[in-house]
Structure 1
Amino acid sequence: MTFKVDFKVRDYECDLQGIVNNSVYFNYLEHARHEFLSAQGVDFAKLAKDKINLVVIRSEMDYKHSLLPGDEFYVAVEPQRVSRLKFAFKQMVVRKCDDKVMLNALVIGTSVNEKGRPFLPAQIDQLFKPAP
């Protein structure tokens, strides 16, 4: 299942070179993951209130091309299972005008309980396909 969130580059997201600053892509990716979870009925704030915290434990990003001010693009999110306690989001940033892939990412996470111990609650567990 691939989920998509639309964006448009804002001028202040660009650096002196006139391109989207590399750190801004983390924000795009995180927002898309949160929108994915919300669309699946997962309330991020309620999880935190219940002392269940979703955490990123690894991020890999391959920058292919640079987004420019005003570019319209989307972030695709594909959930994947890594192991019994780890899940991943395979993500792509794609410029809409030419369907050019601007960035490929893999973000790996888990959830931890109030003692900081990894576990996957049922509502998170069911979102991710089993590891091959």
Structure 2
Amino acid sequence: MEYSKNYTVADGHIDVQGIMDGLYYPFYMEECRHDYIREVLGFDFVEQAENGVFMVLSEYSIKFIRSLKKDDNFDVTCAVFTDAKGLPRLHFKQSIIKNGKTMATGVFTGTCIPATGGRPYLPEELKANFGDAPALEI
């Protein structure tokens, strides 16, 4: 299932060239991804942290295709994939789209770890909410 949220480029995110600074693309992707994880996958970061479960990123990559500018309105999409190797991690494919044109794409990989330290894992209640997600071949 693909999820989407709409945003408008904030004035403070524009650099001296009149385009959105590159560091804000993952910022908007993160905001969308966190909402997806909470609303669709049922994983509440605050509640889980209080229960000793941290969801963390282990890697990400972004491809910049076109630049966003001041006041641009755009959508950020998010879809979850399991790990093709069976590792305890999730992959989130995301895109930033303006007027039907892809501005940037990214893949964010994350897992859960115990707050006290230990090996990565995916909680059973989280697994139940993405069970039919396809595997991502990287």
Q: TM-score band, normalised by the shorter chain?
A: over 0.9
Structure 2 counterpart of 1:109, which letter? G
The TM-score normalised by the length of structure 1 is: 0.92
Structure 1 match to 2:119: 117
Cα separation, 1, equivalents of 2:70 and 2:91: 29
Change (3 A) 1:7 1:26: same
Cα separation, 2, equivalents of 1:126 and 1:42: 11
Structure 2 match to 1:24: 24
Q: Is the 8 A contact 1:19 1:69 kept in 2?
A: yes
Query: Runs ≥4 in structure 1, deviation > 3 angstroms?
Result: none
Cα separation, 1, equivalents of 2:108 and 2:128: 18
Structure 1 match to 2:55: 54
RMSD between aligned alpha carbons? Answer: 1.4
Cα separation, 2, equivalents of 1:122 and 1:22: 36
Question: Where do 5+ consecutive residues of structure 2 fail to align?
Answer: none
Query: What SS does the corresponding residue of 2:119 show, helix, strand or coil?
Result: coil
1:1-132 equivalences under 5 Å are: 1-40=1-40, 41-82=42-83, 83-95=86-98, 98-113=99-114, 114-128=116-130, 129=133, 131=135
Identical counterparts, % of pairs: 28
Question: Where do 5+ consecutive residues of structure 1 fail to align?
Answer: none
Task: Report how far residue 17 of structure 1 moved.
Answer: 0.5
Structure 2 counterpart of 1:26, which letter? P
Task: Report how far residue 80 of structure 1 moved.
Answer: 0.4
Task: Report how far residue 130 of structure 1 moved.
Answer: 5.3
Task: Report how far residue 22 of structure 1 moved.
Answer: 0.4
Q: Is the 8 A contact 1:79 1:127 kept in 2?
A: no
Deviations 1:75-95 (A, max 9, x none): 000000013301110000001
